[in-house]
């Protein structure tokens, strides 16, 4: 699965972004590897819950971003002079990081509800039945030939993805 492989790499990069200036290189490797696992778990959970996230945006950016925030509260040795204050070194940064993660979830969730709830009530979040049936990629985003080995674009549109 090339998409999952690439998203796993991106997940590790997202996870280390919050603490990149405050952790040692070896700690960043651990944070990134755990980020890949967090991505995989969140992606599998969304599939199990039947949540439609085609590009795995939430597992990569949401779940791994939160992991990165929490990881900064765990790692980062204050004695190294890089500004870290992680629990693993006797620091007290974890509470601050958890509170920040909570505020981010509250802010993003609240704004999402304010935007998407009215759109849902107005019926503006779903594509038409034809788009649902054939898929937006086939209908609008790509040349028809992209999904078929047939050089005839007309027959390629009839291919079910």
**How far is residue 29's CA from residue 10's CA, in Å, rounded to a whole number?**
13
Q: What is the pLDDT of residue 70?
A: 96
pLDDT tens digit sequence for 106-116: 999 999 999 99
Instruction: State the pLDDT at residue 112.
Output: 96
Q: What is the pLDDT of residue 158?
A: 52
For residue 81, the model assigns a pLDDT of 79
Task: Report, as ranges of residue numbers, the positions in the chain whose pLDDT lies below 70.
Answer: 141-161
Contacts of 114 by beta carbon, 8 Å cutoff, 6+ apart: none
DSSP state of 158: T
Kindly state the tokens that stand for 16. 């280390």
Output Rg (C-alpha) for the chain, integer angstroms.
Answer: 21
- 81 — alpha (psi -120 to 50), left (phi > 0) or beta? left
Closest Cα partner for 71 from 33, 109, 106? 33
């Amino acid at each position: 699965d090339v998409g999952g492989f690439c998203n796993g790499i991106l997940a590790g990069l997202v996870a280390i972004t919050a603490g990149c200036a405050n952790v040692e290189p070896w700690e960043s490797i651990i944070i990134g590897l755990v980020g890949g696992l967090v991505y995989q778990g969140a992606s599998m959970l969304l599939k199990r819950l039947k949540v439609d996230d085609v590009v795995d945006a939430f597992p990569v950016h949401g779940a791994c971003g939160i992991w990165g925030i929490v990881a900064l509260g765990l790692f980062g040795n204050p004695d190294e002079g890089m500004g870290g204050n992680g629990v693993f070194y006797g620091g007290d940064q974890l509470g601050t990081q958890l509170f920040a993660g909570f505020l981010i979830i509250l802010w993003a969730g609240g704004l999402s509800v304010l935007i998407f709830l009215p759109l849902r009530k107005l019926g503006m979040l779903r594509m038409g039945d034809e788009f649902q049936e054939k898929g937006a990629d086939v209908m609008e985003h790509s040349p028809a030939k992209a999904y078929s080995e047939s050089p005839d674009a007309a027959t390629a549109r009839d291919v079910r993805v």
